[in-house]
Structure 1
Amino acid sequence: MRANRLEWFKSSYSSQDGGCVEARFQTDGVACRDSKDIQRPALHFAAARWQAFVNDVKAGR
């Protein structure tokens, strides 16, 4: 995880139409939210779960 990302950010692959998922690294994992509705609660993932997700995406699963 990249601990220097404490603010919400979007992937560089995101489109410009606003339909994106934003993420924020936290001390206990990662929070994700819908960029179109930031008032809704964010989803929180433990660091190990987030890393497993990233690994699966990179592996094409």
Structure 2
Amino acid sequence: MTTEHAETTTALYAIDVTGLTRYKSPLSTNNDSCVELKDLPGGGRVVYDSKDLSRPSLRFGAAAWDALEDAIRDGLI
């Protein structure tokens, strides 16, 4: 991990998300394989496992989120 990447990741996790609205991902399926999201300022996302909200969240900056969505749509993951 580069220093720049580590600083960006630290900044994402420093954002207070308690006041942001959580919603079900439009990419989720109806078979209990779903995640919930919160939109971060600048286009990033916070991702939660909707089956176990006590688990740690994942945070993505805007570019990383866009790349993840593209990979899912393209069937790469």
Q: TM-score, normalised by structure 2?
A: 0.56
**Are positions 1:27 and 2:41 aligned together?**
yes
Q: Percent identity?
A: 36
In proportion to residue count, which structure has more strand?
A: 1
**Which of 47, 50, 57 is matched with 2:62 structurally?**
47
> Structure 1 47/19 Cα, relative in aligned 2: closer, same or farther at 3 Å?
same
Greater than 6 Å deviation, 4+ residue runs: none
- Residue 14 (structure 1) shift: 2.7
Q: RMSD of the alignment, in Å?
A: 2.1
Q: Which has the larger radius of gyration?
A: 2
In proportion to residue count, which structure has more helix?
A: 2
> Where in structure 1 are there 5+ consecutive unaligned residues?
1-5
Aligned residues: 55
> Where in structure 2 are there 5+ consecutive unaligned residues?
1-19
Q: TM-score, normalised by structure 1?
A: 0.67
